[in-house]
Amino acid sequence: MNIHDRPEIPYENLQEILENAFNGLKTFNILKSSVEMGVFDNLTNLTTPEELSRKLDIEPIFSYYILEALFKIGLIEKEKGAYNNSRLSKLYLNSNSKFNRGNCILSLNESVDLWNNLTDTLKGNLSKKEESFFPFIIQVMAEDCICGELQDTSSIISSYEDFNNSKTLLDLAGGHGIYSIAFSKINPKLECFVFDLPSVIKETKKYIEKYNANVKTLSGNFYRDDFAGPYDIIFSSYNPGGKNPEIAEKVYNALNFNGLFINKQCFPENENQTLEDVLDNLEWNFAKFEKSMKAETRYSFKGDLTFNGYLDFLENLGFDIVDVHAICHLNPSFGSKSRNKLIIAKKVR
Ligand SMILES: C[S@@+](CC[C@H](N)C(=O)[O-])C[C@H]1O[C@@H](n2cnc3c(N)ncnc32)[C@H](O)[C@@H]1O
Protein backbone atom coordinates (compact mmCIF):
# COMPACT_ATOMS: atom_id res chain seq x y z
CA MET A 1 0.00 0.00 0.00
CA ASN A 2 1.29 3.44 -0.96
CA ILE A 3 0.87 5.76 2.07
CA HIS A 4 0.34 8.75 -0.26
CA ASP A 5 -2.80 7.26 -1.83
CA ARG A 6 -6.04 8.94 -0.74
CA PRO A 7 -9.29 6.92 -0.37
CA GLU A 8 -11.62 7.29 -3.42
CA ILE A 9 -14.47 8.60 -1.19
CA PRO A 10 -13.77 11.17 1.57
CA TYR A 11 -14.22 9.69 5.07
CA GLU A 12 -16.37 12.75 5.96
CA ASN A 13 -19.26 11.06 4.11
CA LEU A 14 -19.27 8.36 6.77
CA GLN A 15 -18.33 10.67 9.62
CA GLU A 16 -21.38 12.89 9.09
CA ILE A 17 -23.73 9.91 9.54
CA LEU A 18 -21.91 8.82 12.68
CA GLU A 19 -21.69 12.29 14.17
CA ASN A 20 -25.43 12.93 13.74
CA ALA A 21 -26.25 9.56 15.28
CA PHE A 22 -23.90 9.99 18.23
CA ASN A 23 -25.08 13.55 18.91
CA GLY A 24 -28.66 12.21 18.97
CA LEU A 25 -27.63 9.66 21.58
CA LYS A 26 -25.88 12.31 23.70
CA THR A 27 -28.83 14.72 23.42
CA PHE A 28 -31.28 11.98 24.46
CA ASN A 29 -29.14 11.11 27.49
CA ILE A 30 -28.82 14.75 28.56
CA LEU A 31 -32.60 15.05 28.40
CA LYS A 32 -33.16 11.77 30.23
CA SER A 33 -30.65 12.51 33.02
CA SER A 34 -31.99 16.05 33.38
CA VAL A 35 -35.46 14.61 33.99
CA GLU A 36 -34.05 11.94 36.34
CA MET A 37 -32.05 14.46 38.39
CA GLY A 38 -34.84 17.05 38.49
CA VAL A 39 -32.96 19.74 36.53
CA PHE A 40 -36.19 21.30 35.22
CA ASP A 41 -37.76 21.28 38.70
CA ASN A 42 -34.78 23.37 39.84
CA LEU A 43 -35.01 25.91 37.03
CA THR A 44 -38.29 27.58 37.96
CA ASN A 45 -36.21 30.73 38.75
CA LEU A 46 -32.95 31.98 37.24
CA THR A 47 -30.26 29.60 38.58
CA THR A 48 -26.48 29.67 38.17
CA PRO A 49 -24.46 26.54 37.38
CA GLU A 50 -22.95 26.74 40.90
CA GLU A 51 -26.40 26.83 42.54
CA LEU A 52 -27.57 23.91 40.41
CA SER A 53 -24.43 21.90 41.16
CA ARG A 54 -25.14 22.22 44.92
CA LYS A 55 -28.77 21.20 44.50
CA LEU A 56 -27.95 18.18 42.31
CA ASP A 57 -24.74 17.27 44.12
CA ILE A 58 -22.66 17.23 40.94
CA GLU A 59 -19.46 19.09 39.98
CA PRO A 60 -20.09 22.72 38.82
CA ILE A 61 -18.31 21.95 35.54
CA PHE A 62 -20.95 19.31 34.81
CA SER A 63 -23.90 21.53 35.73
CA TYR A 64 -22.45 24.29 33.52
CA TYR A 65 -22.20 22.03 30.47
CA ILE A 66 -25.57 20.38 31.04
CA LEU A 67 -27.20 23.82 31.26
CA GLU A 68 -25.34 25.08 28.20
CA ALA A 69 -26.37 21.98 26.25
CA LEU A 70 -30.04 22.36 27.29
CA PHE A 71 -29.85 26.02 26.30
CA LYS A 72 -28.40 25.17 22.89
CA ILE A 73 -31.04 22.44 22.38
CA GLY A 74 -33.59 25.21 23.00
CA LEU A 75 -35.15 23.81 26.17
CA ILE A 76 -34.04 26.46 28.65
CA GLU A 77 -33.33 30.20 28.61
CA LYS A 78 -30.25 32.10 29.72
CA GLU A 79 -29.82 35.56 31.26
CA LYS A 80 -26.53 36.98 32.55
CA GLY A 81 -24.98 33.56 33.27
CA ALA A 82 -28.09 32.12 34.94
CA TYR A 83 -30.64 29.75 33.41
CA ASN A 84 -34.36 29.04 33.77
CA ASN A 85 -37.06 26.96 32.09
CA SER A 86 -38.43 27.97 28.71
CA ARG A 87 -42.22 27.89 28.30
CA LEU A 88 -41.84 24.45 26.69
CA SER A 89 -39.88 22.86 29.54
CA LYS A 90 -42.07 24.56 32.16
CA LEU A 91 -45.13 22.94 30.59
CA TYR A 92 -43.81 19.46 29.77
CA LEU A 93 -40.67 18.80 31.83
CA ASN A 94 -41.42 20.21 35.25
CA SER A 95 -42.77 17.38 37.41
CA ASN A 96 -45.35 19.68 38.98
CA SER A 97 -46.97 20.50 35.64
CA LYS A 98 -50.22 18.67 34.87
CA PHE A 99 -48.78 18.06 31.39
CA ASN A 100 -45.47 16.67 32.65
CA ARG A 101 -44.07 14.17 30.12
CA GLY A 102 -41.18 12.91 32.23
CA ASN A 103 -42.34 9.30 32.13
CA CYS A 104 -42.70 9.41 28.33
CA ILE A 105 -38.96 10.17 28.23
CA LEU A 106 -37.82 7.85 31.02
CA SER A 107 -39.87 4.94 29.66
CA LEU A 108 -37.78 4.92 26.48
CA ASN A 109 -34.89 3.69 28.58
CA GLU A 110 -35.96 0.06 28.30
CA SER A 111 -35.77 0.29 24.52
CA VAL A 112 -32.49 2.21 24.76
CA ASP A 113 -30.97 -0.75 26.62
CA LEU A 114 -32.07 -3.08 23.80
CA TRP A 115 -30.62 -0.72 21.17
CA ASN A 116 -27.38 -0.23 23.13
CA ASN A 117 -26.93 -4.00 23.22
CA LEU A 118 -28.23 -4.53 19.70
CA THR A 119 -26.00 -7.52 18.93
CA ASP A 120 -27.34 -9.37 22.01
CA THR A 121 -30.88 -8.22 21.20
CA LEU A 122 -30.62 -9.57 17.63
CA LYS A 123 -29.36 -12.86 19.03
CA GLY A 124 -32.54 -13.15 21.11
CA ASN A 125 -31.52 -11.77 24.52
CA LEU A 126 -34.65 -9.74 25.14
CA SER A 127 -35.54 -8.12 28.40
CA LYS A 128 -39.08 -6.95 27.65
CA LYS A 129 -41.59 -8.99 29.66
CA GLU A 130 -45.12 -9.36 28.34
CA GLU A 131 -46.72 -9.63 31.81
CA SER A 132 -45.36 -6.31 33.08
CA PHE A 133 -45.50 -4.43 29.75
CA PHE A 134 -49.14 -3.30 29.70
CA PRO A 135 -49.49 -2.17 33.37
CA PHE A 136 -46.34 -0.10 32.74
CA ILE A 137 -47.01 1.33 29.27
CA ILE A 138 -50.56 2.46 30.01
CA GLN A 139 -49.16 4.89 32.60
CA VAL A 140 -46.97 6.42 29.90
CA MET A 141 -49.91 6.44 27.48
CA ALA A 142 -52.03 8.23 30.09
CA GLU A 143 -49.38 10.91 30.51
CA ASP A 144 -49.11 11.26 26.74
CA CYS A 145 -52.79 11.30 25.82
CA ILE A 146 -53.79 14.20 28.09
CA CYS A 147 -51.35 16.42 26.18
CA GLY A 148 -53.58 16.57 23.09
CA GLU A 149 -54.72 13.22 21.76
CA LEU A 150 -57.47 12.85 24.37
CA GLN A 151 -58.84 16.31 23.58
CA ASP A 152 -58.66 15.71 19.79
CA THR A 153 -60.42 12.36 20.17
CA SER A 154 -63.12 13.46 22.59
CA SER A 155 -63.97 16.60 20.63
CA ILE A 156 -64.54 14.52 17.48
CA ILE A 157 -66.64 11.95 19.32
CA SER A 158 -68.73 14.40 21.33
CA SER A 159 -69.67 16.20 18.10
CA TYR A 160 -71.87 13.21 17.19
CA GLU A 161 -75.49 13.51 18.26
CA ASP A 162 -75.50 9.75 19.01
CA PHE A 163 -72.76 10.21 21.62
CA ASN A 164 -74.85 12.70 23.54
CA ASN A 165 -77.94 10.47 23.36
CA SER A 166 -76.17 7.28 24.48
CA LYS A 167 -76.60 5.71 27.91
CA THR A 168 -73.82 3.09 28.04
CA LEU A 169 -70.25 2.90 26.70
CA LEU A 170 -67.68 0.11 26.79
CA ASP A 171 -64.03 1.21 26.52
CA LEU A 172 -62.53 -2.01 25.18
CA ALA A 173 -58.87 -2.46 26.24
CA GLY A 174 -59.20 0.96 27.84
CA GLY A 175 -56.00 0.68 29.92
CA HIS A 176 -55.72 3.83 32.04
CA GLY A 177 -59.39 4.59 31.39
CA ILE A 178 -58.67 8.28 30.66
CA TYR A 179 -60.91 8.24 27.57
CA SER A 180 -63.84 6.89 29.58
CA ILE A 181 -63.11 9.36 32.35
CA ALA A 182 -63.28 12.22 29.82
CA PHE A 183 -66.43 10.84 28.13
CA SER A 184 -68.21 10.53 31.47
CA LYS A 185 -67.36 14.14 32.30
CA ILE A 186 -68.66 15.37 28.90
CA ASN A 187 -71.85 13.32 29.16
CA PRO A 188 -72.60 12.59 32.85
CA LYS A 189 -75.61 10.44 31.85
CA LEU A 190 -73.28 8.02 30.04
CA GLU A 191 -72.41 4.93 32.09
CA CYS A 192 -68.84 4.00 31.09
CA PHE A 193 -67.10 0.65 31.61
CA VAL A 194 -63.38 0.05 31.06
CA PHE A 195 -62.57 -3.52 30.01
CA ASP A 196 -58.96 -4.70 30.33
CA LEU A 197 -56.69 -7.42 31.71
CA PRO A 198 -56.93 -7.89 35.51
CA SER A 199 -53.35 -6.65 36.11
CA VAL A 200 -54.15 -3.45 34.19
CA ILE A 201 -57.56 -2.85 35.80
CA LYS A 202 -55.74 -2.38 39.14
CA GLU A 203 -54.05 0.66 37.57
CA THR A 204 -57.28 1.84 35.86
CA LYS A 205 -58.93 2.12 39.28
CA LYS A 206 -56.19 4.51 40.42
CA TYR A 207 -56.91 6.89 37.50
CA ILE A 208 -60.66 6.72 38.12
CA GLU A 209 -59.99 7.70 41.72
CA LYS A 210 -57.49 10.42 40.75
CA TYR A 211 -60.02 12.12 38.49
CA ASN A 212 -62.91 11.37 40.86
CA ALA A 213 -64.84 9.88 37.95
CA ASN A 214 -67.96 7.78 37.78
CA VAL A 215 -66.48 4.98 35.63
CA LYS A 216 -66.79 1.23 36.20
CA THR A 217 -64.31 -1.52 35.35
CA LEU A 218 -64.55 -5.04 33.89
CA SER A 219 -61.60 -7.45 34.10
CA GLY A 220 -61.10 -9.92 31.28
CA ASN A 221 -59.30 -11.07 28.18
CA PHE A 222 -61.06 -9.88 25.03
CA TYR A 223 -59.94 -12.95 23.08
CA ARG A 224 -61.61 -15.31 25.58
CA ASP A 225 -64.17 -13.46 27.66
CA ASP A 226 -67.58 -12.03 27.08
CA PHE A 227 -67.94 -8.21 26.98
CA ALA A 228 -71.29 -8.27 28.86
CA GLY A 229 -73.54 -5.45 27.60
CA PRO A 230 -75.28 -4.68 25.30
CA TYR A 231 -73.94 -1.13 25.00
CA ASP A 232 -74.90 1.96 23.01
CA ILE A 233 -71.23 2.69 22.19
CA ILE A 234 -68.13 0.52 22.09
CA PHE A 235 -65.01 2.65 21.99
CA SER A 236 -61.56 1.28 21.53
CA SER A 237 -58.16 2.98 21.24
CA TYR A 238 -55.03 1.14 20.14
CA ASN A 239 -56.62 -2.13 21.12
CA PRO A 240 -54.37 -4.99 19.93
CA GLY A 241 -57.59 -6.72 18.75
CA GLY A 242 -58.80 -3.60 16.90
CA LYS A 243 -58.09 -4.96 13.42
CA ASN A 244 -59.16 -8.52 14.20
CA PRO A 245 -62.39 -9.86 12.59
CA GLU A 246 -63.33 -12.09 15.55
CA ILE A 247 -63.11 -9.18 17.97
CA ALA A 248 -65.13 -7.01 15.54
CA GLU A 249 -67.83 -9.70 15.56
CA LYS A 250 -67.83 -9.76 19.38
CA VAL A 251 -68.19 -5.98 19.34
CA TYR A 252 -71.11 -6.25 16.90
CA ASN A 253 -72.85 -8.78 19.18
CA ALA A 254 -72.32 -6.61 22.28
CA LEU A 255 -73.80 -3.47 20.67
CA ASN A 256 -77.41 -2.31 20.69
CA PHE A 257 -79.11 -1.75 17.35
CA ASN A 258 -78.07 1.74 16.09
CA GLY A 259 -75.11 1.58 18.46
CA LEU A 260 -71.72 3.08 17.53
CA PHE A 261 -68.42 1.26 17.23
CA ILE A 262 -65.64 3.86 17.51
CA ASN A 263 -62.24 2.37 16.83
CA LYS A 264 -58.91 4.28 16.88
CA GLN A 265 -56.18 2.23 15.25
CA CYS A 266 -52.97 2.36 13.33
CA PHE A 267 -53.31 0.30 10.14
CA PRO A 268 -49.82 -0.32 8.78
CA GLU A 269 -49.65 0.62 5.10
CA ASN A 270 -46.77 1.60 2.83
CA GLU A 271 -44.42 0.44 5.56
CA ASN A 272 -40.66 1.01 5.57
CA GLN A 273 -40.73 4.24 3.53
CA THR A 274 -38.44 6.15 5.89
CA LEU A 275 -35.56 5.25 8.20
CA GLU A 276 -37.89 5.94 11.17
CA ASP A 277 -40.40 3.37 9.79
CA VAL A 278 -37.67 0.76 9.46
CA LEU A 279 -36.29 1.44 12.96
CA ASP A 280 -39.77 1.14 14.51
CA ASN A 281 -40.45 -2.10 12.66
CA LEU A 282 -37.13 -3.56 13.79
CA GLU A 283 -37.85 -2.54 17.38
CA TRP A 284 -41.38 -3.98 17.26
CA ASN A 285 -39.73 -7.39 16.70
CA PHE A 286 -37.46 -7.07 19.75
CA ALA A 287 -40.37 -8.32 21.88
CA LYS A 288 -42.27 -11.42 20.76
CA PHE A 289 -45.29 -11.26 23.14
CA GLU A 290 -46.91 -14.60 22.19
CA LYS A 291 -50.07 -14.05 24.26
CA SER A 292 -50.84 -10.75 22.53
CA MET A 293 -50.32 -12.54 19.17
CA LYS A 294 -47.87 -9.93 17.86
CA ALA A 295 -47.16 -10.12 14.13
CA GLU A 296 -44.03 -8.85 12.37
CA THR A 297 -45.04 -5.31 11.36
CA ARG A 298 -45.45 -2.58 13.99
CA TYR A 299 -48.90 -2.27 15.55
CA SER A 300 -49.99 -5.51 13.89
CA PHE A 301 -51.18 -8.78 15.38
CA LYS A 302 -51.87 -12.21 13.94
CA GLY A 303 -55.17 -12.35 12.06
CA ASP A 304 -55.35 -8.58 11.46
CA LEU A 305 -57.19 -7.24 8.43
CA THR A 306 -55.94 -4.37 6.24
CA PHE A 307 -57.74 -1.03 6.53
CA ASN A 308 -59.99 -1.65 3.50
CA GLY A 309 -60.45 -5.30 4.46
CA TYR A 310 -61.53 -4.24 7.96
CA LEU A 311 -64.05 -1.67 6.66
CA ASP A 312 -65.51 -4.29 4.26
CA PHE A 313 -65.74 -6.76 7.11
CA LEU A 314 -67.60 -4.24 9.32
CA GLU A 315 -70.04 -3.50 6.48
CA ASN A 316 -70.69 -7.19 5.92
CA LEU A 317 -71.36 -7.64 9.63
CA GLY A 318 -74.10 -4.98 9.52
CA PHE A 319 -72.28 -1.71 10.20
CA ASP A 320 -72.47 1.50 8.19
CA ILE A 321 -69.15 3.34 8.07
CA VAL A 322 -70.20 6.82 9.16
CA ASP A 323 -66.79 8.52 9.04
CA VAL A 324 -63.05 7.91 9.19
CA HIS A 325 -60.96 10.66 10.84
CA ALA A 326 -57.18 10.93 10.67
CA ILE A 327 -55.45 11.24 14.04
CA CYS A 328 -51.65 11.40 14.04
CA HIS A 329 -50.02 11.18 17.42
CA LEU A 330 -47.00 9.96 19.27
CA ASN A 331 -46.63 6.29 19.94
CA PRO A 332 -45.02 6.48 23.40
CA SER A 333 -43.36 3.05 23.24
CA PHE A 334 -41.35 3.97 20.13
CA GLY A 335 -41.11 7.68 20.85
CA SER A 336 -42.18 8.40 17.25
CA LYS A 337 -45.34 9.57 15.52
CA SER A 338 -47.90 7.12 14.16
CA ARG A 339 -50.55 7.76 11.50
CA ASN A 340 -53.86 6.58 12.93
CA LYS A 341 -57.48 6.34 11.91
CA LEU A 342 -60.57 6.87 14.01
CA ILE A 343 -63.38 4.80 12.48
CA ILE A 344 -66.97 5.67 13.38
CA ALA A 345 -69.29 2.79 12.46
CA LYS A 346 -72.98 2.37 13.21
CA LYS A 347 -74.78 -0.97 13.68
CA VAL A 348 -77.62 -0.68 11.21
CA ARG A 349 -78.53 -4.31 10.49
C1 LIG B 1 -51.75 0.12 23.59
S2 LIG B 1 -52.69 -0.04 25.04
C3 LIG B 1 -54.02 1.09 24.77
C4 LIG B 1 -54.55 1.69 26.05
C5 LIG B 1 -55.60 2.81 25.84
N6 LIG B 1 -56.79 2.28 25.19
C7 LIG B 1 -55.02 3.95 25.04
O8 LIG B 1 -55.36 4.12 23.87
O9 LIG B 1 -54.18 4.70 25.56
C10 LIG B 1 -53.44 -1.60 24.73
C11 LIG B 1 -54.37 -2.05 25.84
O12 LIG B 1 -54.89 -3.33 25.47
C13 LIG B 1 -54.96 -4.13 26.63
N14 LIG B 1 -54.99 -5.55 26.24
C15 LIG B 1 -54.03 -6.21 25.55
N16 LIG B 1 -54.39 -7.49 25.35
C17 LIG B 1 -55.61 -7.64 25.95
C18 LIG B 1 -56.51 -8.71 26.07
N19 LIG B 1 -56.23 -9.91 25.55
N20 LIG B 1 -57.68 -8.50 26.74
C21 LIG B 1 -57.97 -7.28 27.28
N22 LIG B 1 -57.15 -6.21 27.17
C23 LIG B 1 -55.99 -6.39 26.51
C24 LIG B 1 -53.69 -3.74 27.37
O25 LIG B 1 -53.71 -4.14 28.72
C26 LIG B 1 -53.67 -2.23 27.19
O27 LIG B 1 -54.37 -1.56 28.18
Q: What is the model's pLDDT at position 288?
A: 77
58 and 157 together in one domain: no
For the beta carbon of residue 31, count every other beta carbon within 10 angstroms: 21
* 196 CB near ligand 1 (under 6 Å): yes
95 and 145 together in one domain: no
135 and 259 together in one domain: yes
d(CA 133, CA 175): 12
Residue 123 lies in a domain: no
3-state secondary structure of 79: strand
CA of 316 from ligand 1 middle (Å) equals 26
The boundaries of the domain holding residue 22 are 12-100
For the beta carbon of residue 191, count every other beta carbon within 10 angstroms: 18
Q: Residue 7 has what DSSP assignment?
A: P
155 and 235 together in one domain: yes
Domain boundary among 78, 100, 122: 100
323 and 194 together in one domain: yes
Residue 55 lies in a domain: yes
- Report the nearest-CA residue for atom 14 of ligand 1: 173
- Report the nearest-CA residue for atom 12 of ligand 1: 173
- Report the nearest-CA residue for atom 9 of ligand 1: 141
58 and 146 together in one domain: no
- Check if the beta carbon of residue 39 is closer than 8 Å to that of residue 66: yes
Provide the CATH number for the domain around residue 269. Answer: 3.40.50.150
CA separation, residue 112 to residues 20, 36, 106, 136, 191 (Å): 17, 15, 10, 16, 41
Q: What is the model's pLDDT at position 127?
A: 61
Domain boundary among 81, 100, 119: 100
89 and 154 together in one domain: no
205 burial type by CB count under 10 A (0-12 exposed, 13-18 middle, 19+ buried): middle
Residue 114 lies in a domain: no
Overall domain count for the chain: 2
pLDDT per residue, tens digit, the chain (349 aa), is 899 999 999 999 999 999 999 999 999 999 999 999 999 999 999 999 999 999 999 999 999 999 999 999 999 999 999 999 999 999 999 999 999 999 999 999 989 999 999 999 999 877 666 778 899 899 999 999 999 999 999 999 999 999 999 999 999 999 999 999 999 999 999 999 999 999 999 999 999 999 999 999 999 999 999 999 999 999 999 999 999 999 999 999 999 999 999 999 999 998 999 999 999 999 999 987 777 789 999 999 999 999 999 999 999 999 999 999 999 888 877 878 888 999 999 999 9
262 and 140 together in one domain: yes
Residue 111 lies in a domain: no
16 and 164 together in one domain: no
DSSP labels, 300-317:
-BTTPPPHHHHHHHHHHH
Provide the CATH number for the domain around residue 64. Answer: 1.10.10.10
**pLDDT for 215-229, tens place per residue?**
999 999 999 999 999
- Report the nearest-CA residue for atom 11 of ligand 1: 173
216 and 335 together in one domain: yes
CA of 193 from ligand 1 middle (Å) equals 14
CA of 166 from ligand 1 middle (Å) equals 24
Q: What is the model's pLDDT at position 128?
A: 62
163 and 235 together in one domain: yes
Residue 286 lies in a domain: yes
Residue 67 lies in a domain: yes
218 and 281 together in one domain: yes
Residue 220 lies in a domain: yes
* 240 CB near ligand 1 (under 6 Å): yes
Residue 77 lies in a domain: yes
**pLDDT for 282-322, tens place per residue?**
999 998 777 778 999 999 999 999 999 999 999 999 999 99
